[in-house]
Chains A and B, each alone.
Chain A
């Protein structure tokens, strides 16, 4: 499984188990990292080919133009923002000015807006326990997350996995977090069931992050 992880071709439950193991095993993480470096060296085999005339100018023109997010990302950003505003309009932002009973009522209102059963913000932690950022999680219809990484935490594209039990991780899509905004959201697939944690796994290899949800009331 180490070689498949290093190649980025491991799939499904096996991948989830392997990643869980890597969280607690420095030796195996170093081994997989070494294999990934060997994989990257292989890419040098591809022969150099000059692109068509004007390629450099076209690339530089994109670099100097402000990036416009793809349409679906703009829609997602708006829908996530709308959900956050809806929750905030329920009063959850101003909890410090309310009594506990009023705060609980407002939070219940926020959850009801999208048939929700959970709304919370969890710390994203590295396997060694240090903080890397935080993730807002809403479980409802739909469920969504919005992750924000602290300054200094590597950004990039992450595979998002929903942990529903210690042995079950479900892929939920990808997030791309850029260095300027440092945050991005994702609508989760339906039918998740019990969610234990949200995991962000760097697509290019690197330290996985996890935000654990509190256990539901018994």
Chain B
């Protein structure tokens, strides 16, 4: 099972194959729970979010389109949406984004034990480190916490137009950086 591709495991999940489903959960539970905890900040709530994320992945597995991205990012996007919905429903305030930003923007790589995914997050971290700090903050607040440009403007004390520019420019630069690393 450990040698099967992510897409194969997702197909196993879609067909409710017991071994395939278990392998899928085992492979991604650290990523899913980790993202959920990053966004909601509470371990119990994060576990609820993580469980619901796997359930949604199971329900919508047949809709995964490999031409539009990878299984891991598709699953993490589901997790992000579930986490933000949970925060909104419970009127919770998300974790201070500066905590996430300080931990993530230094360009250092994760411990070797994380393997391929460590390389991937290192690639993202290096791309993020290439942004000016104000763009980095705006992009992370929007990507992880669903903050609108208006909310970011209020948080940072900047005009709405400036907030929109920071999100747009920052995300565009990241897209270009990812395209360059993919071309290598």
Contacts and interface: CB of A to CB of B under 8 A. Distances in A.
Q: How would you classify the secondary structure of chain A's contact residues: helix, strand, loop or mixed?
A: helix
B10 interface: no
Residues of B in contact with A, size category: 35 or more
A215 interface: no
A214 interface: no
Given A4-B148, A45-B104, A49-B37, A40 B74 contact: yes
Interface in A36-68: 37-52, 55-56, 58-60, 62-64, 67
Contacts of A157: 81
Contacts of A46: 31, 34-35, 37-39, 76, 100, 144
Contacts of B38: 46-47
Interface of B: 13, 16, 18, 21-22, 25-26, 29-31, 33-35, 37-39, 43, 46-47, 50-51, 54-55, 58-60, 62-63, 65, 68-69, 72-74, 76-81, 100, 103-104, 110, 114, 117, 120-121, 124-125, 128, 139-140, 142-144, 146-149, 164, 167-168, 171-172, 174-175, 178-179
B34 A63 contact: no
Q: Which 6 A-B pairs have the closest CB atoms?
A: A48-B30, A40-B73, A43-B76, A3-B168, A46-B35, A49-B34
Nearest to A61: B51
B171 A7 contact: yes
A154 interface: yes
A114 interface: no
B171 A39 contact: yes
A203 B51 CA distance: 20
10 contacts: A45-B125, A46-B76, A47-B34, A48-B33, A48-B114, A50-B29, A51-B46, A52-B43, A58-B51, A154-B63
B47 A37 contact: no
A101 B27 CA distance: 63
Contact of A3 (B46, B54, B171, B178): B171
B50 A51 contact: yes
Contacts of A63: 13, 16, 21, 54-55, 58
Contact of A64 (B16, B72, B103, B174): B16
